[in-house]
């Protein structure tokens, strides 16, 4: 259970640190990486939903065993974003440096999967000490 707590705390804090600045750089993105964003509702909607999920990660970190079912949509969130960026990159619609963020999300998704399975072991009593 300790592993799951650490993974979800780190993911939640990382996500808040990465996503929060997006609220303040809307115009800068259009200047530095044209064309400008034409649908601000989609942009801010993404940021808001992304931040909400970071809070979910922090809540899961507080009690991973009880909230284990919430790990499944958490894995989907991480793999979904990482896979989306990979597809955009393969279509030449994404800069290679932007793909790095997708790689981080895919890594966190793998850690979420590991946390899901390790937490399941701890629920059945088959876990090793220190989980």
Provide the domain count of the chain: 1
Which residue is listed with tokens 């942009």?
43
Kindly report the pTM of this predicted structure.
0.87
pLDDT at 129: 45
Answer whether residue 103 is part of any domain.
yes
Long-range CB pairs of 79-85, under 8 A, 24+ apart, other chains included: 79/105, 79/106, 79/109, 81/105, 82/106, 82/109
78 or 127, which is more confident: 78
Answer whether residue 19 is part of any domain.
yes
Cis peptide before 35 (omega within 30 of 0): yes
Per-residue pLDDT of 90-115, as tens digits, reads: 999 998 988 888 899 999 999 999 99
Token pair of 20 as six digits: 């929060």
Residue 89: give the domain boundaries: 2-124
């Amino acid at each position: 259970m300790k592993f799951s707590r650490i993974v979800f705390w780190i993911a939640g804090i990382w996500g808040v640190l990465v996503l929060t600045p997006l609220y303040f750089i809307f115009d800068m993105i259009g200047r530095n990486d044209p064309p400008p964003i034409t649908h601000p509702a989609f942009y801010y909607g993404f940021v808001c939903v992304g931040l909400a999920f970071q809070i979910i990660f922090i809540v899961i970190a507080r009690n991973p065993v009880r909230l284990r079912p919430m790990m499944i949509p958490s894995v989907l969130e991480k793999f979904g974003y990482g896979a989306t960026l990979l597809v955009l990159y393969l279509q030449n619609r994404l800069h290679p440096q932007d793909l790095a963020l997708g790689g981080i999300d895919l890594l966190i998704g793998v850690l979420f999967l590991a946390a899901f399975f390790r937490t399941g072991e701890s629920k059945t009593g088959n876990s090793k000490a220190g989980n």
